[in-house]
């Protein structure tokens, strides 16, 4: 019954999509026309339609990252019309709907751009640099013993809430993509804050922030200059307060840790 709803009128769109064979070759924007796109489709479903068309014509489909398609996994990326995850605030690309666009629109779609993220193919990028930052200290060591009772250590509700807000980071890399400096500090700060706020995480807080920042810098990400584009584009609303906390953690760790190397 979609046809009865004037807002569901199918759209015809022009896409300019970044096509790149692999990390070693040069890429370019290629123009495609997609027809009969329902406004109720997600942006990724529109790409599914494009890819079916391409397959039917015997062409290589566009590679793009996706997994859960419900906004929680952080796999989907795409720089859409100059914005990470497109024009809508607080959404991932899979949760961006075609009703945000108009019939006849031209949409430019590029991969995340940062030297720390290499393009695998087309719109798919290698974001394992973020995994390596996480591996450098984004954990709590539990060396031995049985499973402790969940409520054994009392944590005030406001602190638990703050830690949870930081923990909502889905590691999609939109902060890096949107940052003028290609800095991953919003991501890094969410991981550092999440653990430094909690009693279990405080044990390793100094080595954690030192090692994670060292890995961030070694991966070739830029330095934060407090522009705020990251927080504005973050699909889960990670706040800049986390970056201030990261700075505090780093200053106090460097001033007081036993690490003199």
Partner 1 sequence: MSWFTKTFSSTIGRKLLVAITGLFLCSFLVVHLIGNLQLFSADEGVAFNAYTYFMTHNPVIRAMEIVLLLGFAFHIYEAVVITRRNQSARSVKYAVNRPEQNSNWSSRNMGLLGTVIFVFLLVHLYNFYFKLKFGEVSLDAAGNKNLYVIAVESFSHWWYVALYVISMIALAFHLIHGFQSAFQTLGLSHKKYTPAIKAFGYFFSIVVCAGFAAMPLYFFFLY
Which range binds partner 1 by CB under 8 A, 52-60, 149-157, 194-202, 215-223?
215-223
The nearest distance, CB 157 to partner 1, in angstroms, is 16
Q: Which of 192, 224, 236, 238 binds partner 1 (CB under 8 A)?
A: 224
Does the protein bind partner 1 through residue 232 (CB under 8 A)? yes
227 forms part of the interface with partner 1 (CB under 8 A): yes
Enumerate the β-bridge partners of residue 40. none
**Nearer to partner 1 by C-beta: 28 or 200?**
28
Q: Is 229 in the site for partner 1 (CB under 8 A)?
A: yes
Given 62, 76, 83, 133, the residue binding partner 1 (CB under 8 A): 83
Q: Does 240 bind partner 1 (CB under 8 A)?
A: yes
> Which residue, chain included where needed, has tokens 């019309």?
81
- As a three-state string, the secondary structure of the chain is CHHHCHHHCCEEEEEEEEECCCCCCCCEEEEEEEEEECCCCEHHHHHHHHHHHHHHCCCCCCCCCCCCCCCCCCCCCCEECCEECCCCCCCCHHHCEHHHCCCCCEEEEECCCECCEEEEECCEEECHHHHHHHHCCCCCCCCCCCCCCCCCCCCCHHHHHHHHHHHCCCCCCHHHHHCCCCCCHHHHHHHHHHHHCCHHHHCCHHHHHHHHHHHHHHCCCCCCCCCCHHHHHCCCCCCCHHHHHHHHHHHHHHHHCCCCC
Give me the 96-135 binding string for partner 1, x by CB under 8 A, dash otherwise.
Answer: ------------x-x--xxxx-------------------
Residue 219 Cβ vs partner 1, minimum distance, rounded to whole Å: 10
Only one of the segments 56-64, 130-138, 145-153, 227-235 lies at the binding site for partner 1 (rule: CB under 8 A); that segment is 227-235
Under the binding rule (CB under 8 A), the answer on residue 217 touching partner 1 is yes
Q: Would you tell me which residues interact with partner 1 (CB under 8 A)?
A: 16, 18, 29, 79, 81-83, 87, 108, 110, 113-116, 178, 180-183, 185, 213-214, 216-217, 220-229, 232-233, 240-241, 243-251, 254, 259-261
């Amino acid at each position: 019954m979609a046809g009865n709803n004037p807002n569901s009128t199918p759209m015809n769109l022009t896409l300019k999509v970044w096509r790149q064979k692999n990390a070693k070759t040069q890429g370019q924007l290629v123009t495609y026309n997609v027809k009969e796109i329902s406004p109720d489709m997600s942006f990724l479903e529109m790409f599914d339609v494009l890819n079916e068309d391409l397959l039917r014509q015997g062409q290589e489909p566009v590679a793009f990252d996706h997994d859960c398609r419900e906004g929680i996994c952080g796999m989907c990326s795409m720089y859409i019309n100059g914005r990470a995850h497109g024009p809508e605030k607080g959404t991932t690309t899979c949760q961006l709907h075609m009703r945000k666009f108009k019939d006849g629109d031209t949409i430019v779609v590029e991969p995340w751009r940062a030297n720390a993220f290499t393009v695998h193919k087309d719109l798919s990028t290698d974001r394992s640099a973020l995994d390596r930052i996480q591996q450098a200290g984004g954990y709590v060591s539990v060396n031995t013993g049985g499973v402790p009772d969940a409520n054994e250590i009392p944590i005030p509700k406001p602190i638990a809430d703050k830690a949870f807000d930081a923990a909502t980071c889905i590691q999609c890399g939109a902060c890096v993509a949107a940052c003028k400096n290609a800095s991953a500090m919003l991501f890094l700060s969410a991981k550092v804050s999440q653990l430094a706020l909690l009693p279990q995480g405080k044990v390793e807080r100094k080595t954690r922030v030192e090692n994670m920042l060292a890995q961030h810098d070694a991966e070739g990400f830029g330095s934060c200059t407090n522009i705020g584009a990251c927080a504005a584009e973050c699909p889960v609303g990670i706040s800049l307060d986390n970056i201030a906390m990261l700075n505090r953690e780093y200053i106090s760790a460097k001033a007081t840790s036993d690490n003199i190397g």
